[in-house]
A and B are shown apart, each in its own frame.
Chain A
Amino acid sequence: MSTPLIEIKNMDVAYQKQLVLSNISLSVFEHDFIGIIGPNGGGKTSLVKAILGLLKPVGGSVKHSMNSWEIGYLPQGNQVDENFPITVKEVIASGLEHGLKMRLGTTKSRQHKVEKALETVGLKALHSRPIGELSGGEFQRTMLARAIISSPRLLILDEPDTHVDNQFETELYALLKELNKTITILLVSHDIGIISPYIKTIACVNRDLHYHASNEISEEQLKVYNCPIEIIAHGPVPHRVIKEHIHK
């Protein structure tokens, strides 16, 4: 097999001595599409931040075979000031920046890429809107456009379906599936039912990590993995994949 894009070995992550991820190992290869699932507070976001180099592991190692700006990233909501005076177009263009560049004005190719990204997420009409005047879903689409505009080698999305409506959710996952032909994707979600048809493999994260080399998983398996999340059936999803959700 080729060398992995990301290689995590026996990694520990902690906040002020409080261990939140313990002895984690995971290799991410080109063309992977891994669904990262787990309960609230299980450590999914911490794992993503360690991969991005935003959190320094207290033990073990994370090796990259690429630069951090070759990663597209959509953070989990509420990490930025939503009233900051910046427009949709400016936010999306920031996904193209890398390193410290002193530049005036904008180039044709830059403008073209921004327009294409705006089209992809369906925000053409809102390009000059300040982000403070967007709905939650429109904001999330803006952040998605910022993540994919640079055609990254690896795309990491932390709960991208927050706030977006059903129609865009479907479009979003279809888009990811299309992108996955060329791009490696890590997708954080706590709804395995929705992402199952699109992903290739699953990583269950709850302080430790269990890698599951299939996009299908049973409740029994989740129990074995110590990953207490509910499996919810969505519409006409094949039931051999997803057990029916029963209200207690």
Chain B
Amino acid sequence: MDLLHLFTYGFFQHAVVAALLMSVTCGIIGTYIVSRRMVFISGGITHASFGGVGIGYYLGFPPLAGAATVAVLAALITENLTRRKVMRNDSIIAILWSLGMAIGIIFVYLTPGYAPNLMSYLFGSIITVTSTDLWLMLALALTVTTVFTLLYRPILYVSFDEQFARIRGIPVMFINYLLIILVALTIVLSIRTAGIILVLSVLTIPQNISNLFTNRFSHIMIGSVVFGFFASLLGLVLSYYLDIPSGATIIFTLVVLYLVARLIKVVIFGR
């Protein structure tokens, strides 16, 4: 079957739109995460949210709604306990990380009847996104883009030097909490497409590819959106033709793209 024909299928069109929306949201939020060295926190939020998936299954409401609630809670708890220096930041994260997974597994186990399709939460399933998923992803992509356009400078300044930003009268706490909530929501909606296990890579690999060529926050953001979308599209097509899981193929494509970019950099720029 030829490539153009593939794009006429409804499911594939959905997947392409999902890939685009995911690349925009994750490109921007991922740049924030990588720049502020919040990758580990993001991993904690991701895995904690599995607790919400399990509770959702057990109580019979949409698992993604459960995941969103738990993710935002985990994000707020981590931010708050870290600020107040109640515990070491990485210890809090480790505890929430495993506690969420434990709760998730217990509730999935307790759920009577059929065993839910856990694999799609662990590894994502961009091929089966619904139009509801797409509307949610669109809303988030628009929110994130608007916030980062209007508040670009305050976000950049708070991320670079919080104490100085506070002296300049920038509402540091507002920015921090707003952004950690956006991080949590981004993670949850990306679980649908990339899965709990793989979501961290869509938030970090495009950024690291961009970072090979630029050292500016805004350029890394834009580059990540472009590289992220390119790799997702390529991964999607490959996974279709090779008949292998889409999420994993996208991650694989991202890593190969990173290696190719590195090679290009060495050849062209000599370092």
Binding site for B on A (CB under 8 A): 49, 52-54, 67-69, 71, 73, 75, 79-81, 84-87, 90-91, 93-95, 97-104, 130, 132-133, 146
Question: For B168, what are the chain A residues with a Cβ–Cβ distance below 8 Å?
Answer: 68-69, 94-95, 97-99
Query: Is B169 close to A, CB under 8 A?
Result: yes
Instruction: Tell me if B171 and A85 are in contact (CB < 8 A).
Output: no
Give CA–CA (A132, B220) in the complex, Å: 15
- Given known contacts A94-B160, A97-B153, A132-B215, is B220 in contact with A85 (CB within 8 Å)? yes
B174 to A, closest residue via Cβ? A100
Give CA–CA (A80, B156) in the complex, Å: 13
Give the A-B pair count, Cβ closer than 8 A: 88
Query: Is B12 close to A, CB under 8 A?
Result: no
Instruction: Tell me if A85 and B216 are in contact (CB < 8 A).
Output: yes
Instruction: Tell me if A97 and B170 are in contact (CB < 8 A).
Output: yes
Question: For B214, what are the chain A residues with a Cβ–Cβ distance below 8 Å?
Answer: 85
- Given known contacts A67-B169, A84-B35, A94-B153, is B164 in contact with A73 (CB within 8 Å)? yes
Instruction: Tell me if B154 and A97 are in contact (CB < 8 A).
Output: yes
- Given known contacts A67-B169, A100-B171, is B156 in contact with A86 (CB within 8 Å)? yes
Question: For B150, what are the chain A residues with a Cβ–Cβ distance below 8 Å?
Answer: 102-104
Give CA–CA (A180, B151) in the complex, Å: 35
Instruction: Tell me if B160 and A130 are in contact (CB < 8 A).
Output: no
- Given known contacts A86-B156, A90-B156, A133-B215, is B164 in contact with A99 (CB within 8 Å)? no
- Given known contacts A53-B167, A54-B167, A94-B168, is B160 in contact with A80 (CB within 8 Å)? yes
A71 to B, closest residue via Cβ? B167
Question: For A90, what are the chain B residues with a Cβ–Cβ distance below 8 Å?
Answer: 156, 216-217
- Given known contacts A97-B154, A133-B215, is B169 in contact with A81 (CB within 8 Å)? no
Instruction: Tell me if A101 and B154 are in contact (CB < 8 A).
Output: yes
Question: For A79, what are the chain B residues with a Cβ–Cβ distance below 8 Å?
Answer: 161, 163
Extra 11 A-B pairs, beta carbons < 8 Å, given A54-B166, A68-B166, A79-B161: A52-B163, A68-B167, A69-B168, A73-B167, A85-B211, A90-B217, A94-B160, A104-B150, A130-B215, A132-B215, A146-B164
CB distance from A221 to the nearest CB of B (A): 33
Instruction: Tell me if B160 and A91 are in contact (CB < 8 A).
Output: yes
The 8 Å CB contact of A94, one of B161, B174, B215, B220, is: B161
Give CA–CA (A73, B37) in the complex, Å: 25
Instruction: Tell me if A94 and B217 are in contact (CB < 8 A).
Output: no
Question: For B165, what are the chain A residues with a Cβ–Cβ distance below 8 Å?
Answer: 94, 97
Instruction: Tell me if A100 and B167 are in contact (CB < 8 A).
Output: no
Question: For A68, what are the chain B residues with a Cβ–Cβ distance below 8 Å?
Answer: 166-169
Question: For A80, what are the chain B residues with a Cβ–Cβ distance below 8 Å?
Answer: 160-161
